[in-house]
Amino acid sequence: MGRLSVDLCGIEIDNPVIPASGTFGFGYEFSEWYDINRLGTFSFKGTTQHPRYGNPTPRIAECTSGMLNSVGLQNPGVDMVISEELPRLKSCFHKPVIANISGFSLEEYEFVARLLSEEAQVGWLEINISCPNVHGGGMSFGTDPKAAASVTEAVRKVTDKPVIMKLSPNVTDIVSIAKACEDAGADGISLINTLQGMRIDLKSRKPVLANTTGGLSGPAIFPVALRMVWQVSHAVRIPVIGMGGITSAEDVLEMMMAGASAVQVGAANLVNPYACLEIIEQLPSVMDRLHIHTLRELIEELACLRSKQAVNGH
């Protein structure tokens, strides 16, 4: 058990740094750059029942301290993921991986979750009820506590593996949705997904993205993510994975001080393919500077503090 190891919903991982779904493909692409087994784990490309070609282009736009994307859950479909992507991944990644699942109905979430749960490589199911770039699914399930609970229950019925619900920040009360997922059987919460935004081309006077709006990610959203992780971690008893604008070891520790048990790194991977590796390498020296011996001790210390605050009514 090393200094950086943490427990993620009952499974120990070597460190808390996890590339976020949609920014790391199915992993093997990055294995050409470095040994991806250095990662805690990663969340692979969001998977639906049927193949999706995604939204029309242009679907990426740069903006100050971040980027907008409207990819629209492009993926090869669950059958292709099982028959081709996971076997290819097995040759270069020897740890449990997080399967990210999206859907447009309860039946689709249940169907995909059942199939991926049967794969030995899959350690956790991350259920995306927060994608802002598709219509009739994704975020429509994640903006209402009852709908979020119904997806959680549907997935919980078909798997014994840890279920992590990925939540949207595009809501007025993130805590009520997180608690509804917990009550419905979730083993963990991951947040935040992207914030809705848009850009306009000054010359054409039209939106830059073909889909008009997209999801804002990158350093610009870090303070919002931190605030929501703080709120949710103080309201639920299950682990929280924090994400949103993380680019450094300092960001990781700040997110963990807000209550996260692990973190996901997204947009930074698209800027620098070594981003996660560099963060992992920098963590020990930053921990030394802050007099943090192990991350487990930090997590336990903060959990005790939250419990005392709850008892005292703060």
String of DSSP letters for 39-69 = SS--BPPPB-SS-B--SPSP-EEEETTEEEE
Residue 255 lies in a domain: yes
Residue 51 lies in a domain: yes
Amino acid letter, 26: F
Judge whether 261 and 7 are in contact, CB under 8 Å.
yes
> In the chain, what are the helix, strand and coil shares in percent, each to the nearest 5?
40, 20, 45
Which residue numbers are catalytic? 131
pLDDT exceeds cutoff 60 at 133: no
Mean of the per-residue pLDDT values for the chain?
Answer: 94
Place of tokens 């992993």: 27
Residue 210 CB: number of other CB atoms within 10 A?
14
CATH code of 107's domain: 3.20.20.70
Domain count within the chain: 1
**How many CA atoms does the CB half-sphere of 109 hold within 13 Å?**
26
Sheet of 240-243: strands edge to edge? 17-19, 262-265, 240-243, 188-191, 163-166, 122-128, 97-101
Residue 1 lies in a domain: no
150 burial type by CB count under 10 A (0-12 exposed, 13-18 middle, 19+ buried)? middle
pLDDT exceeds cutoff 60 at 139: no
Question: Could you report the per-residue pLDDT of 219-257, keeping only the tens digit for each?
Answer: 999 999 999 999 999 999 999 999 999 999 999 999 999
| Domain assignment of residue 92, given as a range | 6-311
Question: Could you report the per-residue pLDDT of 39-84, keeping only the tens digit for each?
Answer: 999 999 999 999 999 999 999 999 999 999 999 999 999 999 999 9
